[in-house]
Amino acid sequence: MSGRLYGIGVGPGDPELMTLKAVRILSEVPVVACLAPEDGESTARAIAAQFIPAGCAEIVIRVPMRPGPEPASLYDDAAEKIAAYLSDGRDVAVLCGGDPFLYGSFAYLHDRLAPRFSCTIVPGVTSLTACAAASGGALARRDAALAVVPATLPDAELKRRLADADSAAILKVGRHLPRLKALLAELGLTEASTYVAHATRADEHVAALADLGDTAAPYFSMILVSKAR
Ligand SMILES: C[S@@+](CC[C@H](N)C(=O)[O-])C[C@H]1O[C@@H](n2cnc3c(N)ncnc32)[C@H](O)[C@@H]1O
């Protein structure tokens, strides 16, 4: 019998925000996989490290951090590595930052493996809710429409979506911070915007957007916009 593929949401950073289910499954699986930058540690693995049993086999999928989509062959190869364990009857847990199905690269592995193997997705605490908690303000209330937008969208598209929404979460801020600052100023939304980096981690940083300089931000940062503020 084939093994089962698990997509495990490990939350935004603080290991205490991992679910009981994520921790239990990690204690039971013989193989753990994670995505990592070309030359660094996997953030998701670092979050879950204390729950990975000694002697567990590990698959590290190296993903180049370049703008634009990764080549399909990268996920084809990674899926085949995981499939080899699954075909051998071993369960594999793929560690995913936040939630596996919210802008997670796990979706590309799932596309390739779900037609062939049984899968279970364990949802995680998302960066959206973690950043809202850190900012001390609600993401949305009553009948407000919340837009979730990646900073990688072109200016015109970002402006349209930010103008339409009552509140917004802008993900993947990183090198786009100066551009986003200019764009939000144009829309008169600077005062409504809060910046949050590394939410729930030891180096969490929360600031009014107006107080930030024009430098780049870390990849794990977000801008929350609330027109109700
Ligand atoms: C590819 S998306 C993955 C989102 C993740 N699957 C989730 O459920 O939160 C990566 C983006 O999420 C946001 N993010 C993830 N963790 C974060 C954190 N701890 N603090 C602030 N933003 C975070 C950043 O905007 C980052 O660029």
- The per-residue pLDDT for range 79-113, each reduced to its tens digit, is 999 999 999 999 999 999 999 999 999 999 999 99
Q: Is the pLDDT of residue 65 over 90?
A: no
Q: Give the Å distances, CA to CA, from 17 to 12, 108, 174.
A: 8, 25, 24
Ligand 1 atom closest to Cα of 204? 20
Which pLDDT belongs to residue 10?
98
Give the Å distance between the CA of 2 and the centre of ligand 1. 32
* Together in a domain, 54 and 159: no
Q: What is the 132 CA–ligand 1 centroid distance (Å)?
A: 12
Residues 221 and 174 occupy one common structural domain: yes
Domain end, chosen from 88, 122, 156, is at 122
Supply the range of the domain harboring residue 48. Answer: 5-122
Q: How many CB atoms lie within 10 A of CB 195?
A: 24
Contact between residue 97 and residue 87 where contact means Cβ atoms under 8 Å apart = no
How far is the C-alpha of 83 from the C-alpha of 103, rounded, in Å? 23
Do residues 60 and 34 lie in contact, with contact meaning Cβ atoms separated by under 8 Å? yes
For residue 171 and ligand 1, the question of a CB distance below 6 A is answered with yes
Same domain, residue pair 92 and 157: no
Query: Do 166 and 116 lie in a common domain?
Result: no
Of 91, 122, 153, at which residue does a domain stop? 122
Are residues 22 and 58 located together in one domain of the fold? yes
User: For residue 6, which phi and psi values (nearest 5 degrees)?
Assistant: -115, 130
- Residue-level pLDDT at 116: 97
Answer yes or no: do 214 and 142 share one domain.
yes
Number of structural domains (the chain) is 2
The pLDDT of 100-127, averaged and rounded, is: 97
Decide: 135 in ligand 1 pocket, CB within 6 A.
Answer: no
Question: With 90 as the cut, is the pLDDT of residue 139 above it?
Answer: yes
Q: What is the pLDDT of residues 40-54, one digit of tens each?
A: 999 999 999 999 999
Specify the higher pLDDT residue, 25 or 216: 25
pLDDT given for residue 229 in this prediction: 62
Q: Which of 222, 223, 224, 225 to mutate to test the pocket of ligand 1 (most atoms within 8 A of CB)?
A: 222
Strand positions, DSSP E, 38-158: 57-63, 92-96, 119-122, 146-150
> Taking Cα atoms as reference points, which of 17, 113, 25 lies closest to residue 8?
25
> What predicted TM-score, i.e. pTM, was given to this entire model?
0.95
